[in-house]
Structure 1
Amino acid sequence: MKHFLILSALSAGLFSGASQAECLAFLQTTKQKLNSDQQVDICELTQGKAVLIVNTASNCGFTPQFKELEQVYQDYKDQGLVVLGFPSDDFFQENDDQKDTAKVCYVNYGVTFNMFAPVSVRGKKADPIFKYLTAQSASPKWNFYKYLVSADGKQVQHFTSSTKPSSDDFQQALQAMLPKSTQ
């Protein structure tokens, strides 16, 4: 019986380790949802999916892009896309209170994709996710920088604030990043 328990424990460890190994290393973290105490396992959420990561701000000229980002999420979520929004005050255009940021996202723009508590997206205090994205492509120069990451993590492509999610360039890149088994 003792050997059975040891083997069971080892098997459980191997299987849980295997699923973590499939997760992109820079996404092996948990993040707090916007205006909530709920923690989200980013690895579990994104595993095997293409990921769109956006640094957002509530009081920016690009804030209306929330509407197009939500449309992208609705159009591609069943094809293997996850959208992650990270409010940031690095450019001094984010509300001080998460409740106000949540209102902009959820009430004003109807966002249903995952939005997280504010983070820094550039410089020495940048969140590790954005440090990785910066190392792979470019540092956000403004709010609403968009990063597309392929499911296998081998491709990272960034788009500037002025690139609309509905633009042909963005849509083509997004479709190329979707997991092949879902297209």
Structure 2
Amino acid sequence: MRSLLALVFLCAASITQAASANFTFPSIDGGDISLSDWRGQPVLVVNTASRCGYTRQYDGLQALYETYRDAGLVVLAVPSNDFRQELGSNEDVKEFCEVNFGLEFPMTTITPILGDTAHPFYKWVKDEVGFQPGWNFNKILIAPDGRVAATFGANARPMSRPITSAVTAFLD
């Protein structure tokens, strides 16, 4: 009986952990961004906004990406207007980020992250670990196996020790 329960638990855990790899976002560059493309790599998902006091964190996110991308880290920006601080269109967001920050990491289109209209990824994170962004620039680290490895609030700077330590734990 114990071995049967252990098998059921392992199967359920595998399904849950693999779930994050199945989410797709519309890309700000056109087409889709699928988390399954980065299976086996750590992915830092960050809800962003162009008119937020934390917008300067784009510099830190770019530095984090440049530092660890060759080792496998992906940073994914998810612009959202849920806190009413995003620009009016995807084109405006893309231009703002390119001109002011020279971002090279992937970015989605403007995406709801809260409530009934939240993107399924954010609903999944809330169901899995009880984490829901309380403001812009909250960070969710997805482990290479697809589980939520860590979450960080808006105050956590991208190059801070808590984030870099969590990220490097999953790099080659």
Cross-structure match for 2:3: none
Q: 2:36 aligns with which of 43, 48, 55?
A: 43
Q: Residue 8 of structure 2 aligns with which residue?
A: none
Residue type of the alignment partner of 2:55: T
- Cα gap change, 1:129/1:154 in structure 2, threshold over 3 Å: closer, same or farther? closer
Structure 1: state its 5+ residue gaps.
1-20
Instruction: Name the larger-Rg structure.
Output: 1
Contact 1:133 1:156 in 2 (8 A): no
Q: Which amino acid letter does the alignment assign opposite residue 172 of structure 1?
A: S
Distance 1:109 1:92 in 2: 21
- The higher-RCO structure (CA 8 Å, 6+ apart) is 2
Matched, 1:32 2:48: no
Report the equivalent of 1:13.
Answer: none
Paired residue for 1:140? Answer: 133
* Counterpart residue identity of residue 122, structure 1: L
Amino acid at match of 1:28: N
Q: For the residues of structure 1 that align with 2:59 and 2:88, how far apart are their CA atoms?
A: 22
Q: Which runs of 5+ in 2 are unaligned?
A: 1-14
2:165 and 2:24 map into 1 onto residues whose CA distance is 30
User: Helix, strand or coil for the counterpart of 1:25?
Assistant: helix
Q: Which residue of 2 aligns with 1:113?
A: 105
- Provide the residue aligned with 2:47 in structure 1: 55
Q: 1:86-112 CA deviation, whole Å, 9 max, x = no partner?
A: 000000000111111112212211110
CA distance in 1, matches of 2:35, 2:67: 21
Q: Where does 1:77-88 land on structure 2 (aligned, <5 Å)?
A: 77-88=69-80
The percentage of counterpart residues that share the same residue type is 34
Which position in structure 2 is the counterpart of 1:17? none
TM-score (norm 2): 0.84
> Normalising by structure 1, what TM-score?
0.79
Residue 32 of structure 1 deviates from its aligned partner by 1.9
What is the SS of the residue equivalent to 1:84?
strand
What do you get for the CA RMSD once the two structures are aligned? 1.7
| 1:175 is aligned to 2:168 | yes
1: CA distance, partners of 2:23 / 2:152: 24
Cα separation, 2, equivalents of 1:72 and 1:136: 26
Q: Which moved more, 1:46-55 or 1:150-159?
A: 150-159
Q: CA deviation at 1:121?
A: 0.7
